[in-house]
Amino acid sequence: MTKQTLDIVWLKRDIRLDDHAPLYNAELSSNPYLIIYIFETSIISHPDTSDRHLQFVYHSLLDMDNQLKYYNRSTTKFYAEAIEVFGYFEEHYQIGTVYSHEENGIQKTWQRDLEISRFFRKHGIVWKEYQRDGVIRGVKNRDGWDKNWYITMNQPIIENSFSKSSIAFSNPFPLPKNFLLRVQKYPKSFQPAGSTNAWKYLKSFCEKRGHFYHIHISKPRQSRESCGRISPYLAWGNLSIRQAYQFIKSHPNLESHKGARRGILTRLKWHCHFIQKFEVECAYEYRCINKGYELLQRDNSPDKLNAWKEGMTGYPMVDACMRAVKQTGWINFRMRAMLVSFLCHHLDQDWKNGVYHLAQLFLDYEPGIHYPQFQMQAGTTGINTVRIYNPVKQSIDHDTDGSFLLKWLPELQKIPVQYIHEPWKMTSIEQELYDFRISHDYPAPIVDLKESGKAARDKIWGHRKHPLVKQEQQRILRTHTRRQKTTD
């Protein structure tokens, strides 16, 4: 019996219809094609993944299906290992070409790709992969990368059109009921998924929300409105970086708000810069960027770690940020940096103890940004300035009236605003007066900031003198620093 010829578009972190080279090239082929997404059992059980990620992906796919229904198309969703899915296709169909974007993910997805590539070569299947957001696989350093990134960002947006499909396909690996129960519900406290919502957020940023972007970027409350808030859509590919870059750059409303426009465009480039850095060395998920810091001894108190995870450290800004990101999946960058700094420096924890916890909480979890940034704040690169954030100073400077704190720490609503940032400074008489008791209604500070800060500085800076740290510094600079001057 002759097998039906079939092409496949394999979606990963690129759940959208436009500026999508795999879909574009599948349409150019004369073969019928399926659009598939695989919920890979080994990948979704990895400790960096949480239900909120899977929910975002699933609802992004539903949004895509809604846009495709006119063409009698939808995304076919598998629950299996990728090798099982392609093994089924190879057995029952004549696979023409598999189209996909390169996935700049963790080591586990890279190893998966190697396995799939071997399978395709063995069975004579053509796999055409396309770069994602100007990130280049296989490079050994960043020579010329900036120039090439700008060239990519200024290339025309791919505007796809679709033919109607007549394929009848029975899914051999459907999503099981228990999995569907996990992903079908979508909390209202999270940003809504899908490219339709991505464009709403991008347009509202350019039309009004973003006018004070550069002014409020460090404020935990105001930044929730004035920041782009497109990071989940970029992370899961509801928008390409190029779509966001060109839309922001050309939007007339931002002509009179150049500080805001310049700020967010710069951060779009940083986004890709860190993904490129991780693409070169994806082992950053497991080990220190500077291997010399693997030798650094930490206290690693389980009680302190749990207090940090639960938002019960006794430092209001730390606790409010942790509770906010638990509930909503988002917090601004400065507060993310403060959470990591407090964990690694003030609580003297190995960064590995907290890196998966925040990966699971961030709705916009992007491996290429998460691991390098986490380690920068943990001070394990050996080349970046070590920032040991004082959470009380951050609180006073960026939430002076305590409005953010009070939203996420309702137990502090009883006390006067002058004590919001440092409730432990209340006298016993004042605690009695306001019916509020430290260690009962709210935890006492878990560490003394002055002592923990000094100990952290002595430890992290002292370790920089270690011979292996110095040796690694030179290797890192050779690998990740531009060596040729470019005109951007």
Q: What pLDDT digit, counting tens, does each position of 431-457 carry? A: 999 999 999 999 999 999 999 999 999
Average pLDDT, integer, range 48-60: 98
Q: What percent of the chain has pLDDT over 90?
A: 88
Q: Where does the pLDDT of residue 2 fall: very low under 50, low under 70, confident under 90, or very high at 90 and above? A: confident
**257 and 406 together in one domain:** no
| Whole-angstrom distance, CA of residue 418 vs CA of residue 205 | 34
**102 and 217 together in one domain:** no
Q: What is the CATH number of the domain that holds 259?
A: 1.25.40.80
Residue 165 belongs to some domain of the structure? no
Q: Where does the pLDDT of residue 485 fall: very low under 50, low under 70, confident under 90, or very high at 90 and above? A: very low
| Whole-angstrom distance, CA of residue 425 vs CA of residue 143 | 53
This prediction's pTM: 0.95
Residue 285 belongs to some domain of the structure? no
Strand partners, 143: none
SS3 of residue 238 by DSSP: coil
Higher pLDDT, 247 or 144: 247
The DSSP-derived string for 9-28 is: EEESS---SSS-HHHHHHHH
Strand partners, 35: 9, 75
Residue 328 belongs to some domain of the structure? yes
Q: What percent of the chain has pLDDT over 70?
A: 98
**206 and 126 together in one domain:** no
Per the CB < 8 A criterion, the answer to whether 182 and 54 are in contact is yes
Residue 190 belongs to some domain of the structure? no
Residue 284 belongs to some domain of the structure? no
Helices and strands (DSSP H and E) totals, the chain: 23, 5
Per the CB < 8 A criterion, the answer to whether 294 and 287 are in contact is yes
Last residue of one domain, picked from the residues 144, 177, 210: 177
**332 and 260 together in one domain:** no
**302 and 261 together in one domain:** no
As given in the structure block, the two tokens for residue 471 are 């040796």
Average pLDDT, integer, range 74-102: 97
Residue 485 belongs to some domain of the structure? no
Residue 488 in this model has a pLDDT that exceeds 60: no
**366 and 430 together in one domain:** yes
As given in the structure block, the two tokens for residue 37 are 């997404």
Q: What is the CATH number of the domain that holds 140?
A: 3.40.50.620
Q: Identity (one letter) of the amino acid at 370? A: H
Domain that holds residue 222: 195-279
pLDDT digit string (tens) for 148-187? 999 999 999 999 999 999 999 999 999 999 999 999 999 9
Residue 221 in this model has a pLDDT that exceeds 60: yes
pLDDT digit string (tens) for 342-390? 999 999 999 999 999 999 999 999 999 999 999 999 999 887 778 899 9
Q: Where does the pLDDT of residue 479 fall: very low under 50, low under 70, confident under 90, or very high at 90 and above? A: confident
Last residue of one domain, picked from the residues 220, 254, 279: 279
Residue 1 in this model has a pLDDT that exceeds 80: no
Number of domains in the chain: 3
As given in the structure block, the two tokens for residue 14 are 């690129």
Instruction: Give residue 480's pLDDT.
Output: 66
Q: Where does the pLDDT of residue 283 fall: very low under 50, low under 70, confident under 90, or very high at 90 and above? A: confident
**98 and 52 together in one domain:** yes
Q: Where does the pLDDT of residue 482 fall: very low under 50, low under 70, confident under 90, or very high at 90 and above? A: low
**430 and 296 together in one domain:** yes
**324 and 473 together in one domain:** yes
Residue 186 belongs to some domain of the structure? no
**122 and 220 together in one domain:** no
Instruction: Give residue 382's pLDDT.
Output: 80
Listed residue (326, 407, 342) closest to 377, CA to CA: 342
| Whole-angstrom distance, CA of residue 148 vs CA of residue 141 | 13
Torsion, Cα of 13, 239, 222, 308 (10° steps): 0
Residue 198 in this model has a pLDDT that exceeds 90: yes
**451 and 473 together in one domain:** yes
Average pLDDT, integer, range 209-235: 97
Instruction: Give residue 34's pLDDT.
Output: 98
Residue 486 in this model has a pLDDT that exceeds 80: no
Instruction: Give residue 484's pLDDT.
Output: 38
**464 and 326 together in one domain:** yes
Instruction: Give residue 17's pLDDT.
Output: 98
| Whole-angstrom distance, CA of residue 266 vs CA of residue 243 | 15
Residue 188 belongs to some domain of the structure? no
Q: What is the CATH number of the domain that holds 386?
A: 1.10.579.10
Last residue of one domain, picked from the residues 279, 304, 332: 279
